[in-house]
Structure formats: C-alpha cells, structure tokens
Amino acid sequence: MEQDRLDEFSALMANASKSITKLKNKYMSSYGLSSTHTMCIRKLYSAPNGLTRTQISQKCELDKSQISRIINELSEKGYVWEGPARSNYKKRVMLTDDGRRIAAEINSIVLNINKNVSGQISQEDITTFYKVFGEICENLKSSEDQC
C-alpha cells in the first residue's frame, strides 16, 4: 500500500546505514579512525590543494564544531595540517604524507567494498538507482518544509 512505502523506505535506509557504519568501523578501527574521520580524509584526498573547514563541513554535511573536533583529532594523529590564515575556518586543511598514504589505503578498501556491494548489478541499474535516490532525497528535503 501507498502508506507502507515510507515505513519500508525508512527500514531499508536504517538497515543500510547500520551496515555501512559497521563496515566503516570494522575497517577503520585498525587506523584508529571513526567513520566521520574517514569521510573527512576521503574528501581531503580528492582535493589536493586542501579544503577550508567550512568546505569540509559542507561536503561532509557535518556542523562546523564537529569538523573542528575531527580536524584537531586528525592533526594530533599526524594525518592533516593547516596552512596559515587569520581564521580557523579560512585555513586550508591538507593531508600530510601519512594522511595521503592512509587515504590511498582507505580508498582501496572502499573500492573493494563497492565491488562487493554492487555484485552483479549492472552499471545502468546503479546509475538509475543513484538518480532516483537523489530525487527522493531532494523530495524529502522539500517535504520537511511542506508538512
């Protein structure tokens, strides 16, 4: 029924989120990283010139205070450094050599997980899924204001 779709969607999303979190924690614990650390490192890895804390916050969809804590922790581990600037949120955060090495290893792990998860699903079906899922996410955001 129409009314059951939201419940089914919510359950599927919750299960997928739990599985993703378990996978991230399983593979990242050996690096002493949480799933949010991992997300930040991967975003920085794809930006060779670094990102500001504000940009990281936007790309990871995390609030600035959480990003500050994560960047400080990654800095203490020796994975990131920040260039000079007057404000913490204008400094460019960049990966250190160790950070780039860890990020490359993490990306390899993510690629293997992607291959396993995608299995025998065609590229066309995966593309369609992300297109439709993106539209659903946008519709959900719109519904927040309308309902």
pTM: 0.78
Instruction: Give the model's pLDDT for residue 28.
Output: 85
- Annotated domain spans of the chain: 17-107
d(CA 85, CA 75): 16
Q: Residue 4: pLDDT above 90?
A: no
CA end-to-end span of the chain: 20
Count other Cβ atoms within 10 Å, centred on residue 30.
8
CATH of 17-107, one of 1.10.10.10, 1.10.8.50, 3.40.50.1820, 2.60.120.650: 1.10.10.10
Q: Which DSSP string corresponds to 7-73?
A: HHHHHHHHHHHHHHHHHHHHHHGGGT--HHHHHHHHHHHT-TT-EEHHHHHHHHT--HHHHHHHHHH
Residue 31's pLDDT band, with cuts at 50, 70 and 90, is confident
For 80-135, how does the pLDDT look when each residue is reduced to its tens digit (9 = 90+)? 999 877 776 678 999 999 999 999 999 999 899 989 999 899 999 999 999 999 99
Task: Give 37-73 pLDDT, tens digit per residue.
Answer: 999 999 999 999 999 999 999 999 999 999 999 999 9
**Which residue type does 127 have?**
T
Task: Decide if 67 contacts 53 (C-beta within 8 A).
Answer: yes
pLDDT at 35 > cutoff 90 = no
pLDDT of residue 15: 94
The single-letter DSSP state of residue 119 is T
Confidence check: pLDDT of 1 > 70: no
Task: Give the torsion through C-alpha atoms of 53, 55, 56, 61, to 10 deg.
Answer: 120
How high is the pLDDT of residue 147?
64
In contact, 56 and 71? CB cutoff 8 Å:
yes
Q: Are 89 and 25 in contact (CB under 8 A)?
A: no
Point out the least confidently predicted range of 14-18, 53-57, 139-143.
139-143
